[in-house]
Amino acid sequence: MSRLQRVASTTRAGWYSFLRRRTAVFFTFFFPVIIVSIFAGLVQTQPTGGGIFAEPPAYYIPGYLAVVVLFTPLSRVGSEIARHRDGSQFEKLATTPLKRWEWLLAQTLVNVVVIGLAGLLLLGLTVLVTGVSIPLSASTLLLIPFVAVGVALFCGLGALLGNFSDSQDGVIAASNAIALPLLFLSETFVTPDLLPTWFRPAMELSPLTYFSRGVRGLTYSDAAPSLVLTNLGILCVLALGFFVAGAVTVPRTD
């Protein structure tokens, strides 16, 4: 079996495994509905006032997408590794030609499809609920690589969490401990001017910041193409680093 066939077979198995977990399917696609409903309501309560959620609704599109791009890969990949470890699946995988990075790549591809569909649903709901208009042009298609690369990055981080956590509960706790601060401190829902001056340079350390800036440049601020591509390039480098780190630490045995 060739490498491509191994990855394709593992991806297909991961996809069917996701579909069999009806609760996971439901909340993966219902979660965006909750997020858009809550945050859109908060934004509309103070459209011109100061403080949090005072920006126009379109400003928060990167934040909505960041929720699924950040939370879902962290918890899904981390939990998958913990589940495989608890079920002694890595010992079985060690007897096959499948390499660790191929297994993680397959998991990442499944998440790219799942989160891509959830993100599309989220964008549709955002337009429907808030009435924002997303500019449609050739550059708007860059949303696809932004989402795909962002998912790959957090799949790598999720793999690290899964390897260093001793249980699925530990994975969920670690995912939330990392994801919640990143979600609000990465130019998503909280604008930089609302944060202390001394803290703002720390936002550059968050990979989600580059996702937010790039997506906002495509959907809201009409940023220069060079700026959008710079953020995408930084995101790609970070995604590669996290993916390699996650693949290296995937267990060979349980």
Q: Give the total number of structural domains in the chain.
A: 1
Enter the tokens of residue 12: 């297909």
Q: Give pLDDT, residue 41.
A: 61
How much is the pLDDT for 122?
84
Please report whether residue 100 resides in a domain. Answer: yes
Q: Considering the domain boundaries, does residue 59 fall inside one?
A: yes
The answer on pLDDT for 7 being more than 60 is yes
For residue 49, is pLDDT > 70? Answer: no
pLDDT at 40: 65
Q: Which of 61, 170, 204 is nearest to 126 (CA)?
A: 61
In a domain, 254, yes or no: no
In a domain, 176, yes or no: yes
Has this prediction a pTM greater than 0.95?
Answer: no
What per-residue confidence (pLDDT) applies to 229? 93
Q: How far is CA 5 from CA 2, 10, 103, 184, 243, in A?
A: 5, 8, 12, 40, 21
CB atoms within 10 A of CB 152: 25
- Give the ranges where 59-99 is alpha helix by DSSP (H): 61-86, 89-93
35 Rama sector, left if φ>0, alpha if ψ -120 to 50, beta otherwise? alpha
Q: Residue 151 in contact with residue 111, Cβ under 8 Å?
A: yes
Q: What's the average model confidence in pLDDT over 5-34? A: 82
> What's the pLDDT score for residue 47?
53
Residue 232's pLDDT band, with cuts at 50, 70 and 90, is: very high
pLDDT computed for residue 97 by the predictor: 82
pLDDT for the residue numbered 50: 54
Gap between the Cα atoms of 207 and 223, Å rounded = 19
Q: What is the pLDDT of residues 60-117, one digit of tens each?
A: 888 888 988 998 888 888 888 888 887 777 777 777 888 888 889 999 999 999 999 9
Give a yes or no: residue 158 inside a domain: yes
Most confident by average pLDDT, 42-46, 105-109, 118-122, 139-143: 105-109
Of residues 32 and 235, the one with the higher pLDDT is 235
pLDDT of residue 169 exceeding 60: yes
pLDDT for 105 equals 93
Helix 168-184 to helix 61-86 angle (10° resolution) is 160
pLDDT at 245: 94
Q: Is residue 33 in some structural domain?
A: yes
pLDDT tens for residues 171-213?
888 888 898 888 888 888 888 888 888 888 888 899 999 999 9
- Domain residues for 72? 3-249
Instruction: Check residues 235 and 54 and name the one with the higher pLDDT.
Output: 235
